[in-house]
């Protein structure tokens, strides 16, 4: 009689349990590494990945790989010699990148193997792998360090790790038949029971259609919002580029304005204070306007605008009346006033002295010779 082979599979990401189970968090890459290790492959090839009926024998021995006979410590503290008779052996084992574990178990013709075969035929229990490692419990990841086999237990940690299918939604026809039988037993009329069931099915289909419409509308709305988001991002990117360009242009204009004001200050016949230049840089020309208006009232005809040759004074030439100051420009910060005179520092223009002559102190109407000039004797 050929040995019975049970093919099982389960997902490491779905225990199929809500209120019971260990709820461990396995690492898929770690499980694949253990599954594909040379030690695991050799153990399966040599038919040494044995399984037992229950995990109890491994727990009593305190290790995963147990021998034919083990001296164990009983819960009451006593010692006992236990024979470990396997019930099954792993002949195939694989873990997919998605975390689906597939394995094949060959049920052995032993006493424990017959128990496993009988329980499986009764659809009771399932397989649970036995692996050494670090148990992280519910809060931390569980890491495996080896593979010993699959034991048959009454409550497998992964509910789908069985060689059979439990009654569920997959058996739709059988489920409908059970509902129909319950209805017929309740209403005592097979025809009415069928009508009730048909009405429920139509209502379910209508609700399903409504849900599909809602899903379609939601998908369309999501696509619309995604398009709006894309357009908003494009607008924001364009606005940012324009803003950066405007900032660069403003900086360039400010630099050009600074050069213009600097050239104006160096070539203007009157002194332009530094703080006035800063105000002009910021767009405030109120004080500069006052300076320009005062400068417009100065008679520059008496000042040497162009280069000229000094006149030759013949003997006996009578000098004219001493040139007196008609007007001068005074820096506001150096201005001092008293009841009689106005003193300050600024620039004076003379016919006899080309260019601007800085003076130390002067008053309107004073003789030029009475003024003290920078670089000239008093």
Exposed / middle / buried, residue 149 (Cβ in 10 Å: 0-12, 13-18, 19+): buried
Q: Which pTM value belongs to this model?
A: 0.44
Side-chain-side CA neighbours of residue 339 (13 Å): 0
Core vs surface per residue 234-262: b (16+ CB within 10 A) or e: eeeeeeeeeeeeeeeeeeeeeeeeeeebe
How do residues 185-212 score in pLDDT, each as one tens digit? 555 677 777 777 777 777 777 777 888 8
- Structure token digits, residue 268: 């203007």
Sign of the C-alpha dihedral computed for residues 17, 21, 26 and 32 taken in this order? negative
Task: Please report, for residues 325, 329, 349, the alpha-carbon distance to residue 302 in angstroms, rounded to integers and kept in the order given.
Answer: 11, 15, 8
Q: Which tokens is 89 given?
A: 């052996």
More confident residue, 1 or 311: 1
Q: pLDDT tens, 82-100?
A: 888 999 999 999 999 999 9
Task: From residue 264, give the alpha-carbon distance in Å to each of 285, 288, 329, 345.
Answer: 13, 11, 16, 20
Burial of 84 (C-beta count, 10 Å sphere; 0-12/13-18/19+): middle
Tell whether the torsion through CA atoms of 278, 281, 286 and 292 is positive or negative: positive
Go through 113-129 and write b for each residue having 16 or more CB atoms within 10 A of its CB, e for each that does not: bebbbebbeeeebbbbb
Tell whether the model's pLDDT for residue 38 goes beyond 90.
yes
Q: How far apart are CA 204 and CA 207, in angstroms?
A: 5
pLDDT interval class at 308 (50, 70, 90):
very low
Please tell me which residue, 285 or 127, carries the higher pLDDT value: 127
Domain ranges (residues) in the chain:
4-153, 173-246, 275-307+323-373
End-to-end distance of the chain based on CA atoms, in angstroms? 137
List helix spans (H) across 80-136: 111-121
For the chain, what is the mean pLDDT?
A: 75
Token code pair at residue 122:
């009764």
pLDDT at 40: 95
pLDDT > 80? residue 264: no
């Amino acid at each position: 009689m050929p040995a019975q082979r049970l093919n099982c599979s389960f997902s490491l990401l779905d225990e199929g349990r809500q209120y019971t189970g260990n709820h461990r968090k396995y690492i898929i890459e770690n499980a694949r590494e253990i599954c594909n290790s040379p030690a695991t492959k050799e153990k399966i090839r040599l038919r040494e990945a044995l399984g037992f009926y229950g995990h109890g024998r491994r727990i009593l021995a305190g290790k995963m790989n147990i021998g034919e006979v083990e001296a164990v410590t009983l819960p009451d503290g006593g010692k006992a010699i236990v024979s470990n008779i396997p019930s099954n052996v792993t002949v195939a084992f694989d873990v997919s990148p998605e975390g689906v574990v597939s394995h094949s178990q060959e049920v052995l013709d032993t006493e424990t193997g017959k128990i496993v075969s009988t329980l499986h035929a009764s659809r009771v229990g399932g397989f649970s792998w036995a692996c050494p490692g670090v148990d992280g419990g519910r809060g931390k990841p569980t890491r495996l360090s080896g593979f010993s086999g699959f034991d048959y237990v009454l409550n497998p940690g992964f509910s789908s790790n069985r060689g059979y299918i439990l009654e569920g939604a997959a058996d739709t026809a059988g489920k409908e038949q059970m509902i129909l039988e319950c209805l017929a037993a309740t209403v005592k009329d097979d025809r009415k029971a069928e009508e009730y069931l048909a009405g429920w099915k139509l209502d379910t289909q209508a609700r399903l259609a409504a849900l599909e419409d809602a899903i379609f509308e939601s998908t369309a709305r999501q696509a619309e919002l995604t398009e709006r988001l894309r357009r908003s991002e494009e607008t924001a990117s364009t606005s940012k580029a324009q803003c950066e360009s405007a900032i660069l242009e403003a900086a360039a204009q400010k630099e050009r304005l600074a050069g213009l004001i600097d050239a104006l200050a160096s070539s203007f016949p009157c002194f332009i204070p530094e703080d006035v230049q800063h105000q002009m840089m910021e767009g405030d020309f109120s004080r500069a306007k006052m300076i320009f208006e005062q400068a417009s009232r100065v008679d520059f005809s008496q000042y040497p605008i162009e280069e000229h040759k000094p006149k030759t004074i013949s003997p006996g030439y009578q000098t004219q009346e001493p040139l007196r100051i008609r007007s001068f420009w005074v820096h506001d910060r150096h201005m001092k006033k008293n009841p009689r005179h106005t003193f300050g520092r600024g620039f004076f223009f003379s016919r006899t002295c080309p260019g601007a002559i800085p003076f130390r102190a002067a008053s309107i109407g004073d003789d030029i010779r009475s003024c003290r000039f920078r670089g000239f004797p008093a």
